Each structure stands twice: as structure tokens, then as C-alpha cells.
Amino acid sequence: MNEYRGFFNICRRSLQLENVLQTGQAFRWVLDSESGWYTNTLKLYPLTPEFQIIRLKQNDSKLEYHLESSIKLESREIHNWIKQYFRMEVDVEKLCEEQWLPNDSTFKGKNLRGVRVLQQEPWETLISFICSSNNNIPRISQMCQKLSSHYGNLLNKHEFSNYYSFPTSEELCDRASVESLRSLGFGYRARYIIETAKLLVQQKKIVGIINDTEYFQYISNLYKNDYLQIREHLMGYSGVGPKVADCVCLMGFHMDDIVPIDVHIGRVAKRDYKFVASKKELAILRDTYSTMKLTKKKINYELELIRLMFKELWGPYAGWAEGILFFREISTPTTLAPISKESKKKRLFADTLYDPKNALKEPNRRQNKYIKTEV
DNA sequence: ACTAGACCTGGCGTC
DNA sequence: CAAGCCAGGTCTAGG
């Protein structure tokens, strides 16, 4: 095992780990509340095709990292990889000030809470968000952990926990089945996952690519990074509709201007932005998508117009703006996968620490919102 | 083309 | 105490 350590000078205004790692972007980060370290296994592509064990911890001025690697790597390359994972080149505060605030007063005086959009591996992102449908974050996290621990490869054993890679499409095809996934509690998503893995294996074979990450890179190049065509391709997988496809585009293909539209942001559009779909715009959209088989079949034109409105309003980093609004909209204490009662308690405390409003929130707020929307 | 329901599961507030 | 609702959706069958 090779070990690497390093750090970034970064403050919590720019990056707040709990608000990035635990809020429904990535699902396999595990916090050890005793030490404050987050641990995960990640594929440091293109440095290596193998998964490595990564740990992160931050204080008010620094982000520390620790990498446990099966192979020798360059410290500088690891450093840059992490920098890229967090998209540290993006200045969110400046974006807010210069791009969002002038057009959208809801960002006035807003605490950005160190929310960022991660750049993630497309295959794992795809499967993770297939799991997300009609589901909650704790269970999605649990499912992603199960995929790793049951179908991934053991990377290393530690005192209390083992670390596994996230399974490749081949590994899922070989080791998993609809029945085994169902018995692990995946519900109806079991079929989606198996069908998606099978299709991907097939597709890779056709173009002679073995690595999942490389295949999606190939797709991105093939379509010259064209969003509509890549989304169309993604919606060819079972269990992938517009929302999941957009999440993969935003986080897996780092298309920063893509705003995934879910129930929350749809509600925000109507309630706070007085969104109404016009017949004319709907007609134009139908015409635009008339030649795209899957898009035509799976898209909801009203939600698509909402997506376009936000893209127009927020510009090239619209997806980031959405991430911040989304965080605020749901900001209920979130939990990560598994862990002990005690660590859960501490995490809840940590969440409320940075948003005092949470403590004041009345239980039926969500219902009231729905009612408001109807008026 | 478009709209209801169904769909696995586990946790939670309400009756 | 148990039936019911909800959770970052998608799929399918019908009018």
C-alpha cells in the first residue's frame, strides 16, 4: 500500500464537506464522527482504472486528504485529481455575485453554504441515480454501499470495516441478478440495474471498449459533447428518464448548465418563479424533439420548459445554482448510509449547526407548501 | 400525445 | 397499534 497525504487551503464558505458529500450527489461517503474523516473508494481515472481508498477532513481553513493506493502515483497528480473532483476552479461566490444575483433576487444575501457540484464517474453516477427514483437519500446510500460490498472487489480490510470498489458493468452482470438484488432490498430497481449493466456490456463490446469510464468518454466525444444527443443516449438505459439522465449529464459529464428537474425544483419554479408553460413554447419544443425517439417518449414538456427557463435565467453554471436552491429547499437533516446511532446523532447536530432554520422548522411545512402551490 | 396508477422498501407522523 | 403517506422518478396501459 502506498500512502499519500496533502491539503488545500479552502474555507467553509467555498466548500462544506457535509453539504457536498451527504446531500444526494454522492452516496458512498461515510463519516466517522469520532475522527471527523469521511471515507470512500474512488476510481482516480485517468490516473488509474482501479479504485483507491480516499479520506477527507476539513477545518475552518483547510481540506486534508489521505489516499491509500494499491499502486504508485505522483503526489501532484493526486492533488490535481482531487481539485478536479471538487471543481475547485469554479468560484461559486463570484458566480453568485456576477451571474445569478443580477438576474435573480432570490440569491440576495444568500449563504451559499459551501455547496458545490462534484465531478463524478459516469457509470457509478448512472447506477446511483437509477437507485434514486422514488426513494430517499439514506436508502439510496445504503443501496450504493450494498452494490459495493456485495458485488465490488475487496480493496483493503481495516479494523472495523472493509473497503470495496464500486462494481463495473461486467462485475454486476457476472455476480448479480434481479433476484439477488431484490433480496438485498433494491425493489423494482433491481431489474433496471441488471438491464442497464447488460446493455452497457453489450454496447462496449460493439466498439471494443472494456472500461466503463472510457465508454462514456467515447460517447461524449462521439456526440461532440452535445447535450441533447447524450441525454437521448442515456435514456436508452432501463430506469433512466429525464431526471436521472440530467443528473448524469451534470455530475458525470460535468455539463454545468444542466438543471435536473425534480419535484422540489418543479415546485420552486411554480411557487417562487411563477412559471407557466405557454402553448407556443410547448409546440416549439415538440417540434424540436420530434426526431429524437426516446426524448420524445420520456420527456415531460412542461418540466423541460422549466429546465430551459432556469438555464436561461442562471446561465452556464445553472446546474450549480440549482444545487444551492435545492439544498435550501429540502434542507432537512440528512443521513448517510449505515453507521451507529451515536454517529447519527452527531451528524444531525452538525447539520443543524450550519443552518439554524432547521431547528425552527415546523413538521408539516412540506404539506403546507403543496397547498400554497395550488392557490 | 397525454395522464393516471403501479411500483419495492423503510421510516415516520397520525389516527 | 396499524394502515397510510412519503421519499431528488420511471414505466405502462388505456382513453
pLDDT tens for A3-40 read 999 999 999 999 999 999 999 999 999 999 999 999 99
Residue A220 has pLDDT above 90, yes or no: yes
Q: Closest nucleotide to residue A246 (Cα to C1')?
A: C8
The pLDDT tens digits of the residues spanning A38-82 come to 999 999 999 999 999 999 999 999 999 999 999 999 999 999 999
Residues 348-367 on chain A lying near strand B, CB distance under 7 A: 363-364
Of A133, A143, A126, A144, which is closest to residue A245 (Cα–Cα)?
Answer: A126
Range of the domain at A16: 1-89
Phi, psi angle pair for A244, to nearest 5°: -65, -45
**Would A184 be classed as within a structural domain?**
no
A364 touches strand C (CB under 7 A): no
* CB within 8 Å of A81: residues ≥ 6 apart: A44, A47
How many C-beta atoms surround the C-beta of residue A151 within 10 A? Answer: 23
Catalytic residue among A243, A296, A357, A361: A243
Q: Where are the beta strands (DSSP E) in chain A?
A: 2-9, 30-32, 37-43, 51-58, 62-69, 154-157, 162-164
**Would A320 be classed as within a structural domain?**
no
Of A12, A122, A118, which is closest to residue A59 (Cα–Cα)?
Answer: A12
The pLDDT tens digits of the residues spanning A261-293 come to 998 898 889 989 999 999 999 999 999 999 999
Distance A364 CA to C1 C1' (A): 23
The pLDDT tens digits of the residues spanning A168-193 come to 999 999 999 999 999 999 999 999 99
A295 touches strand C (CB under 7 A): no
First to last CA, chain A: 61
Which CATH number characterizes residue A43's domain?
Answer: 3.30.310.40
Residues 13-42 on chain A lying near strand C, CB distance under 7 A: 23-25
**Would A12 be classed as within a structural domain?**
yes
**Would A306 be classed as within a structural domain?**
no
* CB within 8 Å of A366: residues ≥ 6 apart: none
**Would A314 be classed as within a structural domain?**
no
The residue behind cell 471543481 is A87
Q: From CA A313, how far away is CA A307, in angstroms rounded?
A: 10
**Would A357 be classed as within a structural domain?**
no
Q: How many angstroms separate the Cα of A23 from the Cα of each of A190, A333, A334?
A: 23, 9, 7
Count of domains observed in chain A = 1
C-alpha dihedral sign at A173, A174, A177, A180: negative
Amino acid identity at A152:
G
Q: Give catalytic status of residue A243 as yes or no.
A: yes
**Would A24 be classed as within a structural domain?**
yes
Residue with CA nearest B8 C1'? A187
**Would A44 be classed as within a structural domain?**
yes
Phi, psi angle pair for A30, to nearest 5°: -120, 125
Distance A52 CA to B7 C1' (A): 36
